[in-house]
Amino acid sequence: MIQSLLIANRGEIACRIIRTARSLGIRTVAVYSDADAKALHVRQADEAVHIGPSPARESYLVGAKIIAAAKATGAEAIHPGYGFLSENAEFAQAVIDAGLIWVGPKPASITAMGLKDAAKALMAAAGVPVTPGYMGENQEPAFLAQRAAEIGYPVLIKAVAGGGGKGMRRVEAAADFADALASCQREALASFGNAHVLIEKYIQRPRHIEVQVFGDTHGNVVHLFERDCSLQRRHQKVIEEAPAPGMDEATREALCGAAVKAAKAVDYVGAGTIEFIADASEGLRADRIWFMEMNTRLQVEHPVTEEITGVDLVEWQLRVASGEPLPKQQDELSINGWAMEARLYAEDPAKGFLPVTGRLERFAIPSAVRPTRWLHEGGTAPMETAPQVRLRVETGVAEGDTISPWYDPMVAKLICHAETRVEAIVGLSKMAWSTRIWPVKTNAAFLGTLVVMPDFARGMIDTGFIDRHLDEVTADVEMPEWLCDLVAQRLASRDPAPATFGFRLNALSQTTVRFSDRAIAWTGRTDGRVSYDQEAYPIVTDEGDALLVTMQGATWRLAPERVSGGLGGAASDGAILAPMPGKVIAVEVAAGDIVAKGQKLLVLEAMKMEHALTAPFDGTVAELTVAVGAQVQVEALLVRVEKAE
Ligand code: ADP
Ligand code: ADP
Ligand code: MG
């Protein structure tokens, strides 16, 4: 087994790799850019090497600097993570040439699968069904338009060097082809330095289904079943799960068999993913699933496979890279339960998913949810059992860290494993909705809402799902009135009431809590103390100068400016406000009068009762705004008493 490992990546995947390496007793070396000097992966690694300025092009994408860092620290091997240099065959070769171990497939396998057209041709030759289309050399616009017409609209133009959902254009009709082609080629050249495209039939009701494969240096290749990643936005995965809903054993066998065949065709070593596109218009059928591309690396969504198989894929990567055979044979692998992952991003779904940056003043993701108790069907005795629900968080940040604008805005992956899909959905939605991140906006509310959509729960999914339901799932979560009431109640019941709020509870009181952006009136009978069930409402926490409220994935921080009301009570500044709407029936003082603490100032009639308002301290009546007979609104300033020196 290798003794030391450099991780050529950042964020959650760097932390993920460090965790397994450490459990295997491997020394870890992190690399970092200027922006990441204090990043979690740097704090977690045994050693860290600075490799340059914040832009990835000048740091994480500079192979020579990374290899130099490995040499300088005596690291034996390099793990590339995903993204960055993970699918760069030249870098893999340079690592090997430098006498280091490359934790990944052979450079030749990366090259073979690197371009989508060559990969498809190779797979077709190996007998793996590929998405119908044109994938040849001729790039003449007129020729490509002819091919598109033969394939039949709609078609998808894809950059052969594309990735991350970029360099793709769906074309509905022949009239739009030329423009779409030109724009796709421009983007492909700019993003990938290669304008080459292929044309594919646009699959109807497409589902993205992929198979995790693993090879070793002893000629073994196994698959670890499938994942469904159909919930996408702009061709980028949002929710991933394993196994795929609606998959039957025969289809699974055909699909996973094709994946193993694909991996063997490129002499595959290490972790890889074969991506397929399925036409799910009539459910999943083996003859309607086609090879799309291979990702020759560990995938973002690998945890769902780990959860259902019990395999640590990073451990397997490190063992295979050390020359060991695969720890398990195909017949020793099986599916246990259901796992679902959601990608948590620092972004604002209500503003077109605009990326958000900033300091994570609060960052808390639940590591457990209170199990939902299910009443079993049938039987006379109410048999209650708590389902086994496991939550897992993969993140590269901690509270107090900052989301910088330099890299991918993914802040964490939320993963839930349970016995059944429905339980995994419930667990994941609870997890997303209880996530408390402030003040940085995230898509937590969106994620929680997405997975409880009825059609999603029924497994009626395809890659257009999110777009079709966009308005429903991106609406801003408003703080509901009952929650406002709860917060006000919480403030009113503070015992002892902090001096800054300057109010006392009386036998019958109405308390008005005013925040910077909203006024909340709460009425309740309080016998000196309001009982507040913190257990029942863990969504509200008292931070002293403010309350933090989390609901449905949204978090608000409510800093009270003033809490007023209560009979005989007053704000600390001596402002006596109307505790409720009513009529002034007596005024016992005049402006300029000297008053003693507790002295009656005026009487308000409201709710068929008379309420005497008294001076909060010894002082002078500095302001008197009402006369007998005045109708006043809640919180209207009635009298202001200036404190005696
Ligand atoms: P997965 O298929 O594992 O979900 P993605 O396709 O979402 O992975 O990509 C993983 C990460 O790598 C993302 O951060 C993505 O932006 C980045 N990435 C993938 N391919 C490329 C590429 N060709 N160029 C730049 N970044 C890429
Ligand atoms: P990338 O390298 O960016 O991951 P892929 O070829 O894997 O590119 O495609 C990304 C996504 O685009 C797929 O997950 C799927 O949602 C959609 N897609 C790709 N090919 C097709 C197709 N032929 N028909 C319909 N949707 C497709
Ligand atoms: Mg892909």
Q: Where are the domains of the chain?
A: 4-103, 105-129+206-336, 132-201, 343-476, 481-563, 568-643
Which CATH class, in words, describes the domain spanning 343-476?
Answer: alpha beta
pLDDT tier at 505, thresholds 50, 70, 90: very low
| Alpha carbon distance 308, 306 (integer Å) | 6
Q: Is residue 462 lining ligand 1, measured as CB closer than 6 Å?
A: no
**Alpha carbon of 157 to ligand 2 centroid (Å):** 10
pLDDT tier at 570, thresholds 50, 70, 90: very low
Ligand 1: residue of 82, 110, 345, 413 to mutate (most ligand atoms within 8 A of CB) is 82
408 CA: nearest ligand 1 atom: 14
The ligand that comes nearest to the alpha carbon of residue 235 is 2
Question: CATH topology of 132-201 equal to that of 568-643?
Answer: no
**Alpha carbon of 617 to ligand 1 centroid (Å):** 66
Q: Is 297 a catalytic residue?
A: yes
Which CATH class, in words, describes the domain spanning 4-103?
Answer: alpha beta
Q: What is the residue with the minimal CA distance to atom 6 of ligand 1? A: 164
Task: Pick the range with the lowest mean pLDDT from 23-37, 229-243, 306-320, 362-376.
Answer: 362-376
Q: Is residue 164 lining ligand 1, measured as CB closer than 6 Å?
A: yes
Measured between alpha carbons, how far is residue 362 from residues 153, 411, 549 in Å? 49, 13, 12
3-class DSSP string for 349-403: HHHCCEECCEECCEEECCCCCCCCCEECCCCCCCCEECCCCEEEEEECCCCCCEE
Among 270-279, 474-483, 540-549, 607-616, name the most confident range. Answer: 270-279
In CATH terms, 132-201 corresponds, of 3.20.20.70, 3.30.1490.20, 3.40.50.300, 3.90.420.10, to 3.30.1490.20
Sign, Cα dihedral of 490, 447, 10, 368: positive
pLDDT tier at 385, thresholds 50, 70, 90: low
Considering only CA atoms, which of 228, 171, 231, 181 is closest in space to residue 201? 171
Which residues, listed in sequence order, are joined to residue 549 by a DSSP beta bridge?
540, 556
Question: Stretch 28-53: mean pLDDT, rounded?
Answer: 98
**Alpha carbon of 165 to ligand 3 centroid (Å):** 7
**Alpha carbon of 164 to ligand 3 centroid (Å):** 7
Which CATH class, in words, describes the domain spanning 105-129+206-336?
Answer: alpha beta
Q: For 329-375, write each residue's pLDDT tens digit.
A: 999 999 999 999 999 999 999 999 999 999 999 999 988 876 554 55
Measured between alpha carbons, how far is residue 247 from residues 222, 418, 524 in Å? 19, 18, 55
Considering only CA atoms, which of 80, 113, 104 is closest in space to residue 294? 113
**Alpha carbon of 116 to ligand 3 centroid (Å):** 10
Question: Stretch 399-407: mean pLDDT, rounded?
Answer: 96
* pLDDT at position 348: 94
Q: How many angstroms from the chain centroid is the CA of residue 639?
A: 51
Q: Is residue 131 lining ligand 2, measured as CB closer than 6 Å?
A: yes
Q: What is the residue with the minimal CA distance to atom 23 of ligand 2? A: 202
Classified as helix, coil or strand, 582 is: strand
CATH 1.25.40.80 fits 568-643, yes or no: no
pLDDT tier at 495, thresholds 50, 70, 90: very low
Classified as helix, coil or strand, 516 is: coil
* Catalytic site residue from 207, 227, 288, 297: 297
Task: With beta carbons less than 8 A apart as the criterion, state whether 601 and 576 touch.
Answer: yes
Q: Is residue 83 lining ligand 1, measured as CB closer than 6 Å?
A: yes
292 CA: nearest ligand 2 atom: 6
